[in-house]
């Protein structure tokens, strides 16, 4: 019997993941499944909480924040020079769009909105619950980077699992929200790997590779935007734990400074810079 090609296997796996996610979305709307999910959530809250873990989980959950993940990827582009920036950014955009769409489609309230006197670790979140966006982000990047760098898989998947568990532990998501995030994140990673040849072709076509001037310009612009976002997010966003605010603010300033130092050669390549030099004395 002829074996399936890798692309065909990925396509079949992607279809299976999406079917499982659709079934899960339908299941959480039914009474028995929702009741079991709530019971598992309350078991974690009442029996698995440990005082010394509260601080660890509050910090671990930040590794699923899309802004933090993108910043780490951008810094990797500065240090390592071999990032999977294109694929990772496409994955993060897909996460943001699909999570937002599913949250409004399923419209499941967060535990804190339906369970009275629930002790939350971190800020109170008022948006919808299904699926977990942090888990989706962490799993998508773990699967994508792990596919390209197999040696990092144990570390990446351990961190992704920690992010998922932290969302339940912190009281902001039900277990099935986290499972849905894991399914969605894996599906996005599989889809991005499936589209990798097209993304590579497009990057080469537009000369956006990080070793080319245009790619370096785009990277510098993204660094500047992320630095400004972190400076703003450090004190204006309620989702940031207090312990992270000053470090994020400092990292944002350093990121802006790095982008500024990379800006001068970028401006010298732009047409108006050469025109200005010709008009000078």
Is the pLDDT at 178 greater than 80, yes or no? Answer: yes
Torsions phi, psi for 5 (to 5 deg): -75, 160
- The CA-atom distances, in angstroms, between 271 and each of 184, 207, 274 are 44, 17, 5
What per-residue confidence (pLDDT) applies to 33? 85
Q: Containing H/E element for 73?
A: helix 66-79
Fold of 6-205: Vanadium-containing Chloroperoxidase; domain 1 (1.20.144)
Q: Where are the domains of the chain?
A: 6-205, 207-268
Work out the mean pLDDT of the chain and round it to a whole number.
78
Structural contact between residues 143 and 94, judged by C-beta atoms closer than 8 angstroms: no
Burial (0-12, 13-18, 19+ Cβ within 10 Å), 121: middle
Is the pLDDT at 272 greater than 60, yes or no? Answer: no
pLDDT band for position 77 (50/70/90)?
low
Lowest mean pLDDT among 27-36, 131-140, 215-224: 215-224
What per-residue confidence (pLDDT) applies to 273? 47
Q: b or e along 80-111 (b: 16 or more beta carbons within 10 Å of the residue's beta carbon)?
A: eeebbbbbbbbbbebbeebbeebbeebebebb
Structural contact between residues 34 and 175, judged by C-beta atoms closer than 8 angstroms: no
Is the pLDDT at 139 greater than 90, yes or no? Answer: yes
Is the pLDDT at 266 greater than 80, yes or no? Answer: no
d(CA 136, CA 186): 8
Is the pLDDT at 280 greater than 60, yes or no? Answer: no
pLDDT band for position 165 (50/70/90)?
very high
User: What are the percentages of helix, strand and coil residues in the chain, rounded to 5?
Assistant: 80, 0, 20
> What is residue 26's three-state secondary structure?
helix
Compute how many other C-beta atoms are within 10 angstroms of the C-beta atom of residue 36.
Answer: 14
What per-residue confidence (pLDDT) applies to 268? 58
Instruction: List pLDDT tens digits, range 15-24.
Output: 888 888 888 8
> What is residue 207's three-state secondary structure?
coil
Check residues 164 and 198 and name the one with the higher pLDDT: 164
Is the pLDDT at 182 greater than 80, yes or no? Answer: yes
DSSP secondary structure letters along 142-175? HHHHHHH-GGGHHHHHHHHHHHHHHHHHTTSS-H
DSSP state, 2? P
What per-residue confidence (pLDDT) applies to 276? 46
Q: What is the mean pLDDT of residues 159-165?
A: 92
Is the pLDDT at 234 greater than 90, yes or no? Answer: no
Of all residues in the chain, what percent carry a pLDDT higher than 90? 14
How long, in residues, is the chain?
Answer: 281
What per-residue confidence (pLDDT) applies to 184? 93
What per-residue confidence (pLDDT) applies to 75? 67
Compute how many other C-beta atoms are within 10 angstroms of the C-beta atom of residue 62.
Answer: 20
d(CA 118, CA 238): 18
């Amino acid at each position: 019997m002829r074996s399936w090609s890798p692309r065909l296997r990925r396509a079949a796996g992607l279809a299976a993941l999406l079917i499982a996610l659709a079934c899960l979305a339908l299941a959480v709307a039914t009474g028995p499944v929702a009741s079991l999910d709530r019971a598992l959530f309350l078991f974690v809250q009442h029996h698995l909480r440990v005082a010394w873990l509260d601080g660890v989980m509050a910090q671990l959950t930040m590794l699923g924040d899309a802004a933090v993940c993108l910043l780490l990827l951008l810094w990797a582009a500065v240090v390592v020079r071999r990032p999977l920036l294109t694929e990772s950014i496409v994955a993060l955009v897909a996460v943001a769009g699909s999570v937002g769409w599913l949250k409004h489609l399923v419209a499941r309230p967060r535990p804190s909105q339906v369970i009275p006197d629930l002790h939350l670790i971190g800020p109170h979140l008022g948006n919808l619950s299904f699926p977990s966006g942090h888990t989706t982000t962490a799993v998508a990047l773990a699967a994508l980077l792990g596919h390209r760098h197999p040696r990092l898989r144990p570390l990446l998947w351990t961190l992704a699992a920690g992010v998922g568990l932290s969302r339940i532990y912190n009281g902001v998501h039900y277990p099935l929200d986290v499972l849905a995030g894991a399914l969605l994140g894996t599906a996005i990673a599989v889809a991005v790997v499936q589209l990798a040849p097209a993304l590579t072709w497009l990057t080469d076509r537009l000369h956006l590779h990080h070793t080319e001037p245009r790619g370096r310009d785009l990277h510098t612009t993204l660094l500047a935007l992320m630095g400004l976002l972190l400076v703003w997010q450090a004190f204006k966003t309620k989702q940031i734990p207090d312990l992270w605010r000053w470090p994020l603010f400092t990292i944002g300033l350093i990121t802006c400074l790095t982008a500024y130092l990379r800006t001068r050669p970028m401006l010298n390549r732009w047409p108006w810079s050469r025109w200005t030099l010709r008009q000078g004395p």
